[in-house]
Structure 1
Amino acid sequence: MTLSRAVLIWAGVALAILVPSAFALTSPLLQWRDPVYIIAGFAGVVGMALLLLQPLLVGGHLPGLGAMRGRRVHRVVGAALVLAVLIHVAGLWITSPPDVIDALLFVSPTPFAIWGVVAMWAIIGAAVLAAMRRRIGLRLRLWRFAHTVLAAVIVVGTVVHALLIDGTMESVTKAVLAALLGAATLKVVIDLRAWAFR
């Protein structure tokens, strides 16, 4: 890969992450909001941005990292993603416990909350599965299949959750980030063929 192409790829990824984040930080909806609410909301934005990196890392599509290093960074980013989700949920709990309880019990009147909880549990499940794979002796192919299914649930849940919310993320840049996330995940799932056990 030429240097110019590598620079273009990294620049494109940076723009896909930084532009929606910048719009979210400067949203007029943040005026008069408590700091905890702002941190919780931006943690969700960071989580979605980190999620875009995951298929690119595991698929080896980020220049300069290589397959093995990419997978190691994938694990680090996965841990950061879990932390972002925990901050997001904890902040929302502090600002409005009844809404979080309704979402966790799947009785929330707002559909975006349900999709967010589904994505949250899938993220936790994927993290636990990754941490416990060797301890429970799970075969590599079976683990890849399970991890891929959870990743698909995470991406679908996150995208629907984000698109249904009329919040701090600007609608056009949010839609572009969601489309890129979906396309990157679909490409890597097809390329790696995790469903093939042969």
Structure 2
Amino acid sequence: MRLARVAVIWAAVAAAVTVPIVLAATSNLLSYRGAVYNLASFAGIAALSLVLLQPLLIGGYLPGFAGPAGRRAHLWIGGALVAAIVIHVGGLWIASPPDMIDALLFMSPTLFSPFGVIAMWAIFATALLAAFRPRLRLTPRPWRITHLSLAVVIVIGSVVHGLLIEGTMETMSKLALCVLVVAAAAKVMGDRVWRKRVLSRGESTSNPF
């Protein structure tokens, strides 16, 4: 029974991550765009998929990745997410520098653009904080608050950015992936709030003074 449950969980995660990419590969729009633009598009899809994995890993919901293993994988996936964003933005810059300049300066007429840029900077900020955390000497509490705040910005920005774009991604698979990203993030945050309440109740009960 346990092996079956593990297989179902990994099959669901694999489907959530790969199906949007596979369906995007069948889009008719690919033939009208250059190779660099298409690479940038798929890097963006991959980045959204990686955003789904992050809360699942840090929450310990993936079999075989609980505790330290999940945290290590969370760091590696974070690095892959940064790389995907760099490819996404770099490819779009090569394909159309004026559009990217407008986007980065928040002057783009497209509604999806500012959400993507904000999510991008939040991802970069998270990566820098993680890299320099020892030097900054952040204690666990401020680190968790900062990391959680940036994670909220990343999730909201990435999901809204993806939903507003009418591009190579198939509509229903994109919607499903975005819903899963929000649900996974909400699950982690909800569990942490619940744990804190349980711990605080336990402390007040054991030590009333």
The answer as to 2:27 corresponding to 1:27 is yes
Of 184-193 and 66-75, more deviation after overlay is shown by 184-193
Of 72-81 and 18-27, more deviation after overlay is shown by 18-27
The answer as to 2:104 corresponding to 1:104 is yes
Q: Which segments of 5 or more consecutive residues in structure 1 lack a partner in the other structure? A: none
SS in 1 for 2:67: helix
Shift of 1:64: 1.4
Q: What is the RMSD computed on CA atoms of the aligned residues?
A: 1.5
Runs of 4+ in structure 1 deviating by more than 6 angstroms, as ranges, are: none
| Equivalent in the alignment of 1:54 | 54
| Equivalent in the alignment of 1:174 | 174
SS in 2 for 1:193: helix
Q: Which segments of 5 or more consecutive residues in structure 2 lack a partner in the other structure? A: 201-209
Shift of 1:32: 2.9
Of 104-113 and 1-10, more deviation after overlay is shown by 1-10
| Equivalent in the alignment of 1:4 | 4
SS in 2 for 1:31: helix
Q: In the aligned structure 2, how far is the partner of 1:25 from the partner of 1:144?
A: 38
TM-score, with structure 2 as normaliser: 0.91
What are the equivalent positions in structure 2 for 1:24-173 lying under 5 Å apart? 24-173=24-173
Shift of 1:193: 3.2
Q: In the aligned structure 2, how far is the partner of 1:135 from the partner of 1:62?
A: 31
User: How many equivalent pairs are there?
Assistant: 197
Q: In the aligned structure 1, how far is the partner of 2:180 from the partner of 2:139?
A: 31
Partner AA of 2:189 in structure 1: V
Q: Name the larger-Rg structure.
A: 2
Shift of 1:66: 2.0
SS in 2 for 1:60: coil
